[in-house]
Chain A
Amino acid sequence: MDIKICPEPFDPWQEIQAHQSSVADMAGKFGATSIFIGTMRDFNEGDNVQGMTLEHYPGMTEKQLEKIVAEAMRQWPVIDALVMHRVGDILPNEPIVLVAVWTSHRGDAFDASRYIMEALKSRAPFWKKELLKSQSERWLVKNTDGYL
């Protein structure tokens, strides 16, 4: 399990490749990798958005993400998981979140990655503040519904 809070932009594809290569005993064991990447849009609720600031609660964020991934690993036979999340100032088209899960079979990979992502959305202490093209700022009040 690897959890990273990232104050700088990251390339999720390079991170997935690097993680997979770095875990030596994973080679030959996994048959499925499920990947979710959340990317910043330049529109929301009918407005043009030019940037975003992501605040978090250092310490609690890591603690909650570790609990969430541990819960997923208890429910499904997960070989490994990588969770990364941006904080700070973010621009449209930059990745915000990465959840990658390696398992033996596809069903467990889909289920575990969806569980981690939905739990992250409701429990990990991050808050988004949008900067609109009109130069006004607004805090997001709630997340869109997932499909749990």
Chain B
Amino acid sequence: MMESKQNGTLLQVRDLHTWFELRKFGFLRIGFVRAVDGVNFDLEEGEAFAIVGESGCGKSTLARTVLGLYKPTQGEVLFQGRSLQELGKAYHSQVGYVQQDPYGALPPFMSVKRILEEPLIINKALPSKEARLARIEEVLEEVRLIPVKDIIGKFPHMLSGGQQQRVVIARATILKPKLIVADEPVSMLDASVRVEILKLLRELQEAHRLGVIYITHDLSTIRYFSERIFVMYAAKFVEKAKVHELIHNPLHPYTQALLEALPDPEPENAETFRNVPPGEPPSLVRPPQGCRFHPRCTQVIQGLCDQQVPPEFEPEPEHFVSCWLYRDGQGN
């Protein structure tokens, strides 16, 4: 992925906040759910990175904000240097969205052909019917839904989960976008199919030099997919690093706990207990003061972690961590 640097930045996210209003009786404002609270990152062209976090940490909201489905409360998303407002509708043909639940994402009364034709019509990408059909067949072959003739007239319920997800991927890529946001693309699928879908996404990414944001809660699938991992906890990034670096040298106590919690299939596991912190992620309406992980953290520094929000430190090159333990620039 060295060459990707030369092509420049595809996506810049600056100090992004997405808050949702909480209302009582429909009009009394009683607070905000701070689903995304100050997120920064850059995505190079042709790069794949992963965002990992537990449910409710705001990763899907972040995805939808990046896709332009939610308006950010504060901060901005720049696509090839231009803001989303400036791009307007043109942005939609530049990004593809792969949803979590393929069955829920496909309209049940539309055939595969209509599902795939619709984005082409709406975006006026191809004027002639024949050209559209040719493109649909091309995409179906790319996602390996073959023989195309058998698949094209089918309805979503006639397809297996893996095939449905392939249709979703075909729909996301049919307009030849530059960026794909995949929100838990394999979590609803069977273990044996997951690998297939991940390999397919990886192939498409490499073949078309797509930027991919892969959102997941499953750390073990990431290595097969992306170069960098961002770990998200309670609406903020706590650690950003290269995949290998993060798995073998996690710095943030939350990342360490996440890795500890993930078993590899070893028979010895049955005899040992996992050393994981108790408790649950905080409410995003009233997040704890200071570091948001401090109530569960075993290495909490009293008077610092519970008072001040940790800034981003870089104890090792290209390995960023938001934790006071690394305030001297070095880890312990």
| A and B together in one complex | no
